[in-house]
Structure 1
Amino acid sequence: MTSNSEDKRLPQPELPEPAHPDLDSMLSRKFGKEVANYFSGSPLNRVSFLRQDHPFLSHALTHHTTTFLIFNKLEPLVESPTKLHYATYADVKPIIGDDPYSKSEEDLVKEYNSTTYIPQMIFLGLHEDKDGVTTKKGYKGAPFFAVDVTPKHESIKEAAEALIKSFEDKGVHFSKGRLHMALPAEEGELRHFLFQYGNSDSSAAAIYAEARHLLDWNARNPFCGGCGQPTFSVNAGFKRTCPPTDFSQLLASGTQGAGVPEKPFDRPSCPTRGVISNLQFPRTDPTVIMACVSHDGQRILLGRQRRWPAHWYSTLAGFLEPAESVEEAVRREVWEESGIKLGRVVVHSTQPWPYPANLMIGAIGQATPDGEVVDLGNDPELEDAKWFSLDEVREALRVGTSGLGERPGPEWREGGLRLPPRTAIANQLLTSVVNGFVSAGVMKI
């Protein structure tokens, strides 16, 4: 029987369409259609070159087509596990103020005061399938922003708590789950204020992933890694800088004085200011995850951790280490965790993973003829690892997939193999193998 915690089964959304799915090319004929994993496939043009264009950002912020994703303690505002709730400028104005982009980025850095709290906001990009703003270069689309309304500072606490209560009064709430894997990858509709622009095919999961990743990175990096002093968010939330000066009287004198000083004090020297730039950039940690196939191509290696439900297995995974190629990381992690020795390794697809900042690099590797004996004696991470036939995996993909806290499908029978849902890249790797990825025929032009 399943555990008491497994009392629900959320719908498994469709995966996003890959780029140019119908385009015939040499690469598509040789390697097949590209795989787009969950959390990828964003419809937003990030127009990164406009992140310092504050006149554009000011216009985008207040435009009537602009959409805001709201987060409290990194949890998104949702109507249900399968639907985000999108806010308007009027909703967030009490938190962010009249126009946070009214001054240039350069002026904001010159006027920096480390004791002034500025709510974190991210410009996510333009939805080009929607009517919206038009840039100087002619790019068009509805702007998307993410805003952190966590009431963690006295200057916004009252306004933030009032905003959170107003949302709760509307029947929406901030999701409490750590993983949000039921959001549609191809969402059928946005909130009511976007209906007038037509139905949306927006990928809610991909937009959410971008927002959460950047909000989390900003929250984790309030101080400079070079000098330990407070940093300042710039470039519409995509960079942080260590300003050379500070208007804060608290840091200048050790006591909070009255009024604003006439000029800022010079902050202590910082090694980041002695090079080309003093900017910090968002971090992404590469992680390898791999489906391992036996030398004869008839079995797949799967492993399980102790905390997982009974009969629940998955592909092996681990972090890429410094000065290590993807292929080397795949072979090392598989050998350390299971004792299996791999020969050829092929990269299959990748998946953004905003918990907090990973890029899952999916690969498929094939065991060497003398390297198929399982040995769990090196790394104690796994409780078990063993080979499963292609038919066993194929049947589990059909009836036994689920999230860790969910029930398997209705056709699953006690004792049968259980696997991750299709929103996990592990599922896509296994599906690819049982569908013939490693057979010679797939590689023919």
Structure 2
Amino acid sequence: MAEEGFLTRKFGEGVENYYSGSPLNRLAFLRTNHTYLSTALQHPSTRFLLLNSLDPLSSTPSTLAFVSYSDISPLISNPYTKTEEETLETFTSSIDHPVLIFLGIDESASSEHTITTPDGKYTGQAYFSVDVTPYPHASYSSAADGLLQGLKVDHPTAVFRTARKDLNLDKEHAAIYASARTLTNWNVTAPFCAGCGQKTLSVNAGTKRACPPKDAGVETRKCPSREGVHNINFPRTDPTVIMAVISSDGTKILLGRQKKWPKYWHSTLAGFLEPGESIEEAVRREVWEESGVTVGRVVIHSSQPWPFPASLMIGAIGEALPGKEDIYLGNDPELEGAKWFGFDEVKEALGFTSGLYEGTPVGYKEGALRLPPKTAIANQLIRAVVLGEIHLAKI
């Protein structure tokens, strides 16, 4: 058994939440190396995840389905035959291209399925994702329609499943899908430059959108995104605090519910972090705005990427101040209700968790508390509090 490190001895085992823990090495430094990307793209063992309206192609509710380059080459051809600079110089806004993202390599793959990086340092099986949605306005919509029809013949057991309703992906596939979905959604919803309003081009293997200096050979407007350091056309990640709040006497946990949730279903409070605000400040503000409860000490528990559409859930545990625990919902009408629950009631409810779109669990008694599933960071925060499974990063 490996010897425990200092942090494990001090804080306990770490927490790796659902949608994190991808098995792929992203190789971010090779995203502009079109020679390598071209080789990886066309390698016979390279695997492609297809998204249709952000729903992934899957073999079963727990496993993604992957296709080969030959399946999707009629739609994407090979966009890496030119350098990134040459691609920008020949940009034509009237010609659309499906979003193609290099997700990384699986270094654990067997040798016959791998390619090696130019420096010879890394070897693995390459993964890409492709948005095959036949958008009506896209110049490739007919090709996308044809590809979807061909999939029904060539991969009859694979279907596009709605992510939050019809899928319960295993952890590694969930992490791969999270990256693909988040980046695809951003590319699709940010087709124009935030600096000058012109149409942009997906570059850097799908992780950046560039504002080309020319469009069909004609000079375009001057744009701040082409000058100096900026973050104008990079993917957005929305930091969100989610917190389990303990009563000042350490016997109860604060949970809330929204009107659209199933009956008796409660969860931890959450909200977006605002500019110029620390995580601790955001926790205190959101809890007070939504429930009227005032929080003092805040500690960080863990985080979770949440690809619906692009949040980073920062999990925290807060402690209410004595005499400041009365619930008042008048500040912010977001919650239908909020309530302090005793630990014993919550412990029992942890045996009957379910997702928002799932039916009631087997053995559940009508009227009892319902909680989010283990795939949600809210569940992990609740468990940390009421079961004593607290692994904190002190800051």
Fold shared per TM-score above 0.5: yes
Deviations 1:346-393 (A, max 9, x none): 110000011111000000001111111111111111111111111111
Q: Are positions 1:119 and 2:119 aligned together? A: no
Query: Match for 1:355: what amino acid?
Result: F
Deviations 1:293-345 (A, max 9, x none): 01111110000111111111000000000100000000000000001111110
Is the CA contact 2:258–2:336 (under 8 Å) kept in the aligned structure 1? yes
TM-score by length of 1: 0.83
Q: 2:35 is paired with a residue of what secondary structure? A: helix
**Partner residue, 2:245:** 292
1:220-259 alignment, distance < 5 Å: 220-247=189-216
- CA drift of 1:244 comes to 1.1
2:45 to 44, 65, 70: 65
Q: Are positions 1:207 and 2:207 aligned together? A: no
2:348 to 354, 371, 395: 395
Is the CA contact 2:195–2:232 (under 8 Å) kept in the aligned structure 1? no
Is the CA contact 2:164–2:357 (under 8 Å) kept in the aligned structure 1? no
Q: Aligned partners of 2:3, 2:317: CA distance in 1, in Å? A: 25
- CA drift of 1:437 comes to 4.6
Deviations 1:117-145 (A, max 9, x none): 12210000000101300112220100000
Q: Aligned partners of 1:46, 1:420: CA distance in 2, in Å? A: 30
Q: Are positions 1:348 and 2:301 aligned together? A: yes
**Partner residue, 1:361:** 314
Is the CA contact 2:193–2:232 (under 8 Å) kept in the aligned structure 1? no
1:189-208 alignment, distance < 5 Å: 203-208=172-177
Q: 2:353 is paired with a residue of what secondary structure? A: coil
- CA drift of 1:411 comes to 1.7
Q: 2:326 is paired with a residue of what secondary structure? A: coil
- CA drift of 1:155 comes to 3.8
Is the CA contact 2:301–2:315 (under 8 Å) kept in the aligned structure 1? yes
**Partner residue, 1:414:** 366
Change (3 A) 1:277 1:352: closer
Deviations 1:15-47 (A, max 9, x none): xxxxxx965111111111110100001010001
Q: Aligned partners of 2:165, 2:299: CA distance in 1, in Å? A: 28
- CA drift of 1:154 comes to 5.6
Is the CA contact 1:241–1:278 (under 8 Å) kept in the aligned structure 2? no
**Partner residue, 2:79:** 100
1:133 to 115, 121, 143: 115
Change (3 A) 1:217 1:430: same
Is the CA contact 1:287–1:319 (under 8 Å) kept in the aligned structure 2? yes
1:144 to 120, 123, 127: 127
Deviations 1:168-199 (A, max 9, x none): 331322123555651011xxxxxxxxxxxxxx
* Structure 1 gap segments, 5+ residues each: 1-20, 186-202, 248-263
Is the CA contact 1:308–1:404 (under 8 Å) kept in the aligned structure 2? yes
Q: Aligned partners of 1:179, 1:157: CA distance in 2, in Å? A: 27
- CA drift of 1:226 comes to 1.2
**Partner residue, 1:198:** none
**Partner residue, 1:167:** 151
Q: 2:140 is paired with a residue of what secondary structure? A: helix
- CA drift of 1:158 comes to 2.7
Query: Match for 2:145: what amino acid?
Result: E
**Partner residue, 2:254:** 301
Aligned pairs, how many? 386
**Partner residue, 2:385:** 433
Is the CA contact 1:302–1:385 (under 8 Å) kept in the aligned structure 2? yes
Query: Match for 2:118: what amino acid?
Result: K
User: RMSD between aligned alpha carbons?
Assistant: 1.9
Change (3 A) 1:22 1:162: farther
Identity of aligned residues (%): 54
Change (3 A) 1:177 1:41: closer
